[in-house]
């Protein structure tokens, strides 16, 4: 066991500015004796101890100092200081009096700190030229509100930069704010190359905390680097192999310099270059050719001018506009075909690429592939119009069409006529005669009336309005259609509706009479059966099958023009009524 008074305190207590610092004073008195007093002091800037507390068994005396409102004592007599400031970074002393064991003391250095804010970095806003002969300002880094003062380092693409004479330099400034906190700034100067257009720079602020080195990094930034053009590229959009007449074509010129150079466009005509800059948008590097045609093909040039050193670069590209021209359809033989004839249509066109041919009729329906179309056994109904569609499979959308008319001639053919026609005398009727022909025919009627004609392509329809006379009813009407190639005629039969009605009446009466005769005959047979005159059953059937029983007959004749009934009974060996009864009985037996 120790034989003297001992006091232990931490050498350093670190606390963040604004927090509460707690400084402990632990002591040992031999034989568990009690202390006489405990005094707390701080050491001022003159290295003089200023008392804060005097503690005895009878009470605690707090001295009147600048700390009075921020100090407190714990049960273990530890000193607590709230709202620590930069000025509180000093030494605090604990002194213990123990009577016969003497007086002892120890001290703790209070260290205060403030973690700096994340550094702010601002790159050069104007841009840096690779042609600059001196190191240029790259960026500026600032770290605020830290204690104690930190330091700043610079990094390029993740690697730390170090000062190099006439190359990399870093200028730093340190400012102490009224709060006692530090603001540190650093500016990086370095030469740049073309490759630095992709470089990223950042700064790091370093500070100490609880004996360890800590760091905070800024965001990464890129610097606008100015460098001349080394390569020029001229493109055709869409690719030249797919350009066709009627397209809009864009020539795009790109340079790898910064800032972009001034672009100019030219087209080669014979041995001269035609300036096309008036067709471009300023500083865009884009030339748009609208609705190109065959004459738009040729060599185009993009020229760049670097305003920094006035150097020029050129790049050429060939534009080829695909086309189809001279589409022509030929008919063989060239004379106008007639019904029944055959003709051959052939299609031809010029193009720098391979072509396919397709034929369509007047309704747009595909009828054949290939550059020839054979039309056999022509009729009036054959389509008047055929089109040859010429396509370039290697250039989507490149196609042309040419139409040809095939007019089939022939004598008229009557296709519809209103015959027979049921009429009444003195009635006004409409007669229709429809024909097809080419050239256009004329229609003539065999009687006078009011005629109206309607023409639809090769069809002609004539409507004749006429009053029915006895002569007209008897003779009918003839429709005659003719052109230079022949005549077609058809007769319209006129049927008197009155005579037709009378004939229909006679037929109806005859049917009714026949029905009545059958009804009367059925009634007679039924009456004889009820009287027992006509036997029924198997015996009746057996009698009827005998030859002798068929000597007498009942004959019934029905005429369609008048009602008559005749029944003759032929005398036989078995008696007149017996034979008749047997015959009817057999019939009745079969019905059952």
pLDDT attached to residue 392: 94
Q: In what order do the strands lie in the sheet with 159-161?
A: 159-161, 151-156, 201-209, 212-217
Residue 8 pLDDT > 90, yes or no? Answer: yes
**Residue with more model confidence, 557 or 255:** 255
Most confident of 128-132, 162-166, 167-171: 167-171
Residue 426 has pLDDT above 60, yes or no: yes
Percent of residues, the chain, with pLDDT higher than 90: 61
**Tokens at residue 518, please?**
């059958």
Cα 551-556-561 angle, rounded to 5 deg: 155
User: Phi and psi at residue 585, in whole multiples of 5°?
Assistant: -60, -40
Q: Considering the entire predicted model, what is its pTM? A: 0.55
Residues linked to residue 185 through DSSP beta bridges, in sequence order = 142, 173
User: Domains in the chain and their CATH numbers?
Assistant: 6-113 (2.60.40.10), 117-226 (2.60.40.10), 232-319 (2.60.40.10), 325-405 (2.60.40.10), 410-496 (2.60.40.10)
72: pLDDT strictly greater than 60:
yes
Q: Which carries the bigger pLDDT value, residue 458 or residue 588?
A: 458
Question: In which band, very low, low, confident or very high, does the pLDDT at 518 lie, cut at 50, 70 and 90?
Answer: confident
Each as own residue / partner, the long-range contacts of residues 102-109 (CB below 8 Å, 24 or more positions apart, any chain) are: 102/4, 102/5, 103/5, 104/4, 104/5, 104/6, 104/7, 104/27, 105/7, 106/7, 106/8, 106/9, 106/25, 107/9, 107/43, 108/9, 108/10, 108/11, 108/12, 108/13, 108/23, 109/11, 109/12, 109/13
Residue 336: both structure tokens together:
């106008």
Q: How far is CA 264 from the centre of its chain?
A: 37
550-563, pLDDT tens digit by residue?
A: 333 323 232 333 33
Residue 292 pLDDT greater than 70, yes or no: yes
- Residue 426 has a CB neighbour count (10 Å cut-off) of 10
pLDDT on residue 514: 81
- CA 29 to chain CA mean position, Å: 91
**Higher per-residue confidence, 266 vs 526:** 266
Distance CA 449, CA 62 (A): 144
Beta-carbon contacts of residue 533 (< 8 Å; ≥ 6 apart): 577, 580, 581, 584
pLDDT of the residue at 441: 93
Closest-CA residue to 185 (of 134, 116, 127):
116
Give the mean pLDDT of the chain: 85
Q: How confident is the model at residue 380 (pLDDT cuts 50, 70, 90)?
A: confident
DSSP label of 90: S
- Only one residue has tokens 């309607």, namely 454
Question: Where are any strands of DSSP class E within 256-381?
Answer: 262-269, 272-275, 286-289, 298-306, 311-319, 325-332, 343-350, 356-361, 366-369, 372-375
**Strand, coil or helix: 38:** strand
pLDDT of amino acid 535: 54
220, 186 in Cβ contact below 8 A? no
Say if residues 36 and 101 touch (Cβ distance below 8 Å).
Answer: no
Dihedral angle over CA of 153, 156, 158, 160, nearest 10: -40
Q: Output the pLDDT for position 533.
A: 57
Whether 140 contacts 189, CB under 8 Å: no
The Cα 571–Cα 552 span in angstroms is 7
Least confident of 37-41, 321-325, 415-419: 415-419
Two tokens, residue 338:
């007639």
What pLDDT, on the 0 to 100 scale, is given for residue 505?
55
């Amino acid at each position: 066991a120790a034989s003297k008074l001992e006091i232990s305190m931490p050498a350093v207590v670190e606390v963040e500015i604004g927090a509460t610092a707690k400084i402990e004073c632990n002591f040992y008195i031999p034989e568990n004796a009690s202390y006489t007093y405990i005094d707390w002091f701080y050491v001022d800037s003159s290295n003089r101890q200023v008392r804060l507390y005097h503690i005895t068994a009878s009470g605690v005396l707090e001295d009147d100092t600048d700390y009075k409102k921020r100090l407190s004592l714990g049960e273990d007599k530890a000193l607590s200081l709230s709202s620590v400031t930069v000025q509180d970074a000093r030494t605090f002393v604990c002194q213990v009096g123990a009577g016969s064991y003497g007086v002892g003391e120890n001290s703790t250095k209070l260290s205060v700190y403030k973690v700096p804010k994340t550094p702010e970095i601002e790159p050069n806003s104007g841009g840096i030229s690779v042609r600059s002969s001196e190191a240029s300002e790259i960026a500026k880094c600032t770290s605020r509100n830290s204690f104690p003062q930190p330091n700043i380092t610079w990094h390029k693409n993740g690697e730390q930069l170090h000062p190099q004479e006439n190359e990399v330099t870093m200028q730093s400034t340190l400012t102490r704010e009224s709060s006692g906190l530090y603001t540190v700034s650093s500016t990086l100067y370095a030469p740049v190359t073309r490759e630095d257009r992709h470089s990223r720079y950042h700064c790091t602020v370093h500070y100490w905390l609880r004996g360890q080195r800590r760091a905070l990094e800024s965001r990464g930034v890129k610097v606008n680097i100015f460098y001349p053009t080394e390569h020029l590229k001229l493109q055709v959009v869409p690719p030249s192999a797919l350009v066709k007449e009627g397209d809009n074509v864009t020539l795009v010129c790109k340079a790898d310099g910064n800032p972009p150079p001034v672009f100019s466009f030219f087209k080669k005509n014979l041995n001269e270059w035609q300036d096309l800059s008036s067709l471009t948008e300023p500083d865009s590097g884009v030339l748009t050719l609208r609705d190109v045609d065959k004459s738009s093909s040729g060599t185009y040039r993009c020229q760049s001018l670097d305003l920094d050193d006035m150097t020029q670069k050129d790049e050429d590209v060939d534009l080829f506009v695909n086309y189809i021209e001279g589409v022509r359809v030929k008919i063989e033989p060239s004379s106008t075909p007639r019904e029944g004839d055959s003709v051959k249509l052939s299609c031809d066109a010029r193009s720098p690429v391979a072509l396919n041919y397709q034929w369509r009729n007047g309704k747009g329906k595909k009828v054949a592939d290939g550059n020839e179309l054979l039309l056999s056994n022509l009729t009036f109904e054959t389509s008047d119009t055929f089109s040859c569609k010429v396509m370039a499979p290697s250039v989507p959308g490149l196609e042309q069409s040419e139409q040809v008319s095939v007019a089939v001639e022939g004598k008229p053919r009557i296709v519809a006529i209103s015959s027979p026609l049921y009429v009444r005398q003195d009635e006004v009727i409409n007669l229709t005669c429809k024909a097809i022909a080419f050239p256009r025919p004329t229609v003539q009627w065999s009687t006078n009336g009011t005629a109206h004609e309607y023409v639809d392509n090769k069809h002609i329809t004539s409507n004749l309005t006429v009053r029915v006379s006895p002569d007209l009813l008897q003779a009918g009407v003839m429709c005659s259609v003719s052109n230079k190639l022949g005549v077609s005629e058809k007769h319209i039969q006129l049927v008197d509706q009155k005579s037709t009605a009378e004939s229909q009446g006679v037929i109806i009466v005859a049917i009714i009479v026949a029905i009545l005769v059958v009804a009367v005959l059925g009634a007679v047979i039924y009456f004889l059966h009820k009287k027992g005159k006509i036997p029924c059953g198997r015996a009746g059937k057996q009698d009827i099958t005998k030859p002798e029983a068929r000597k007498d007959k009942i004959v019934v004749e029905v005429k369609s023009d008048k009602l008559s009934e005749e029944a003759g009974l032929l005398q036989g060996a078995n008696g007149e009524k017996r034979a008749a009864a047997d015959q009817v009985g057999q019939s009745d037996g079969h019905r059952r």
